[in-house]
A = this chain, B = another copy of it.
């Protein structure tokens, strides 16, 4: 009920009358009034004027089931939302839901994570009310070897959402870190369950530093937040849906071609390593070259004296020669 009232207030071009709310939701004026009171108690500023009705003046940066559902603006990504105030990690919960049969497009969001982590088991700071911690469950018709492209699709969606919603020139560090001024604001952890030859499901975990004011000492040199970089104030719920709205568009393009040809150009334009010297930590023989951007399947093309070398994620690490990126 609260979610429906919120959505109606947001849709309105100004005041919405109590009568209109009653009709739209099929409930009594008393029920509408009670819903409004509950929303006010949660921090929403809702003005009530006789003969005009209700006006949503300001929303707190709340993250909960109602807030999320009332703001949904996607077709399928997040059609089921599972929200936790606190959980171990949204990837762990999404994998659990996947095993229980939850559908393609299920979105898990948490207010705080107790065991958030990044790639290769690295810890990911997940303090309360400062960041976005979420995981989307996908059941794509792909071969396991194609799934690495999904993480590129997700990185592109986050970069675009941050650029458009926060007015910041978010860049991408290949393959899937989002950076601002050389420091990381977003990490993506893609995991999948496969049989030998087929994907059962993929979970894409995304952590975004939104309003963090400081980081622990070891993280401070490599991490930043949207707030610290002076980004436009945006509620986490709004940014969450902007990410998935962008994701749906890029995902459609990816599914139509089966590769990244429709995304590559835009991705490469965001790539902070592009046309810069990188060191490829190939376990066999490390080498240095100039990063030229990704190819259609997500490999980083590195130019050396011997020609262009395609580099796959994970068999190698890529580091810029100067600083974090």
Query: Which residues in A have some Cβ–Cβ distance to B below 8 Å?
Result: 92, 95-96, 99, 119-120, 143-145, 147-148, 151, 175, 189-198, 200, 312-315
Contacts and interface: CB of A to CB of B under 8 A. Distances in A.
25 contacts: A92-B99, A95-B99, A119-B195, A120-B195, A120-B198, A143-B314, A143-B315, A144-B145, A144-B194, A147-B196, A151-B196, A175-B196, A190-B195, A190-B196, A191-B193, A191-B200, A192-B194, A194-B194, A195-B314, A196-B313, A197-B312, A197-B313, A197-B314, A197-B315, A198-B314
Contacts of A192: 193-194
Contacts of A145: 144-145
Question: Could you say how many copies of this chain the assembly holds?
Answer: 2
Q: Return the 6 tightest CB-CB contacts between A and B, nearest first.
A: A197-B314, A148-B196, A197-B313, A196-B313, A190-B196, A193-B193
Nearest to A197: B314
A191 B197 contact: no
Contacts of A198: 120, 314
A39 to B, nearest CB: 37
Contacts of A144: 144-145, 194
